[in-house]
Structure 1
């Protein structure tokens, strides 16, 4: 893995694309998708796997039509499939490299109106279990976190407060815990946010640290947990080894932070939206705190996934599209 990590570091850091001309999938994306897919198929996926490191291939940015309102995304390298949380219909879709899309799971919607329940981020555990939150908009009985098996059967986790709002989550295989960006909103539109851990086996939800406003994106990198406060424009980290974890500011220069993703070389991909200029951006944050722009465009980002080699997938709000852009 060390060979691959160094190669990925060089590939991702060497090129910082500016806003690219968007092509349709039929015009530019198909060849690039297949090339990246072939590289991804050869990429090692576990520490025990050895072989030649995959190479990042650049290509023109393109868009995928998904006939859904995509939010959370997850690319499974082992399957070469993209999992998509459909926010409008409370479904999880799965799309293969040939463009075929099918429904993987139907998520219960107690309100009877799927679009009013909402879905958030997606994350797989190493054992193949998929986790995702149902946002619920603060309505009693609607907030939840679901565990999905390989058959797509959805089971709500016990011990989770059904009135809290949750969008971002990340499963930590090392600790067997879900870390969840959680917040509430009162009648005066005041947000109060915190980071919670959820033990999916014991059914216990525990606040780890408060002091946030509207946390959305969250990601684990080793013993460090990152969280983005959307309304405060702040990216924080905390040490999971600490007896009393505390928030440490990484940057307060982002605007409208959304979901985030980790990369195989130990960096963070962070989504942000510049409302004044209607510009979405993907930033790369390295372990030492260096921040660079990976991509930008005329899309409002929501969810993000990375194929581990060449492609970054970003859900574009209110377009029923996913923007696919090069990671190098």
Structure 2
């Protein structure tokens, strides 16, 4: 598929010429719109969408059949509906002197998107972007905390992962009151918690420092905060893997990549497999369960290329 706009192009890998011709004809007829989103012609990939952006977090909203992503370069949240480009969804509050440093995205039931700012030890924060109105910084949070992962719980609460340089990391629950939040630590003693997901009563957290992916009971850590030692190690990765942001399917299957360019899957039984490898640095991931496809934010391979969002079929 040829380039559509200056900011987005689609390239397609296929296993057979017949499939390539059929998909190419359909996509050319509708300028790609039938190949994304949520119709019967949904593009399950493998597909590469080049994006003129500095990518990090991704979030798939199944109710809207819409992909959201963070762009550090523009300090905004962008959206993709399966069409020809990633459009601005929300401009974020002015970035601090440390930079935009946007992390994972998540969404609460009222439609507000929340994204972390890493902040480099001076400007760590959580930003809210409501469906209507301007985005805002949550007040009441500790700016010293370097924030990366964020996710929702089944009852609508927010959890975020953070660490302090030279100290330790934790997972906290954020209690919201309008645009103000208070933080309560649920899991402490972590190194650098990056990936965070919740399925049912289980919290999954990946620690980039140790390479471990751990699980905890949400109900138990709410009743009595836990430590690193209380977690169940379900998989371990190497320093070279550089595991990063995480997403989960409803059955507890976990997906994530890392700086080593590998895309991983952990089954509900704890079996680890490599979905793809040999890519540039992988950052955020988002899973469209209805169409069994994974969206992956991939960094640029070199100065002459662009970052991309890759669509990967999951079978």
Query: TM-score by structure 1 length?
Result: 0.76
Q: Residues 41 and 78 of structure 1 are in contact (CA less than 8 Å); yes or no, is this contact kept in structure 2? A: no
Which residue pairs with 2:82 in the alignment? 97
Q: Residues 117 and 137 of structure 1 are in contact (CA less than 8 Å); yes or no, is this contact kept in structure 2? A: no
User: Structure 1 residue aligned with 2:297, among 308, 315, 318?
Assistant: 315
C-alpha distance 262-36 of structure 1, shift in aligned 2 (>3 A): farther
Which residue pairs with 1:293 in the alignment? 274
Distance 2:280 2:310 in 1: 8
Which residue pairs with 1:214 in the alignment? 192
Which residue pairs with 1:72 in the alignment? 57
Q: Residues 227 and 237 of structure 1 are in contact (CA less than 8 Å); yes or no, is this contact kept in structure 2? A: yes
Which residue pairs with 1:326 in the alignment? 313
Which residue pairs with 1:184 in the alignment? 164
Matches within 5 A, 1:1-328: 25-27=10-12, 37=36, 40-41=38-39, 59=45, 61-111=46-96, 116-139=99-122, 142-151=123-132, 153-174=134-155, 176-185=156-165, 190=166, 192-201=168-177, 203-242=181-220, 243-244=223-224, 245=226, 246-254=230-238, 255-274=241-260, 280-308=261-289, 309-318=291-300, 319-328=306-315
Shift of 1:317: 2.2
Q: Secondary structure at the match of 1:251?
A: strand
CA RMSD of aligned residues (A): 2.6
Which residue pairs with 2:18 in the alignment? none
Q: Secondary structure at the match of 1:303?
A: strand
Shift of 1:101: 2.4
CA displacement, residues 106-135 of structure 1 (integer Å, 9 cap, x when unaligned): 21235357xx23101111112211111111
Q: Residues 163 and 192 of structure 2 are in contact (CA less than 8 Å); yes or no, is this contact kept in structure 1? A: yes
Shift of 1:26: 4.8
The alignment covers a number of residue pairs equal to 277
C-alpha distance 249-62 of structure 1, shift in aligned 2 (>3 A): same
Distance 2:296 2:69 in 1: 11
Shift of 1:287: 2.5
Distance 1:164 1:287 in 2: 31
Q: Which runs of 5+ in 2 are unaligned?
A: 1-8, 14-22, 301-305
Distance 1:82 1:228 in 2: 23
Q: Residues 104 and 152 of structure 1 are in contact (CA less than 8 Å); yes or no, is this contact kept in structure 2? A: no
CA displacement, residues 57-111 of structure 1 (integer Å, 9 cap, x when unaligned): 864x332122111100112222222111002221111122112322111212353
CA displacement, residues 247-293 of structure 1 (integer Å, 9 cap, x when unaligned): 2211223531100111133321122343xxxxx22222222322222
Q: Which runs of 5+ in 1 are unaligned?
A: 1-23, 43-54, 275-279
Q: Residues 88 and 118 of structure 1 are in contact (CA less than 8 Å); yes or no, is this contact kept in structure 2? A: no
Which residue pairs with 2:16 in the alignment? none
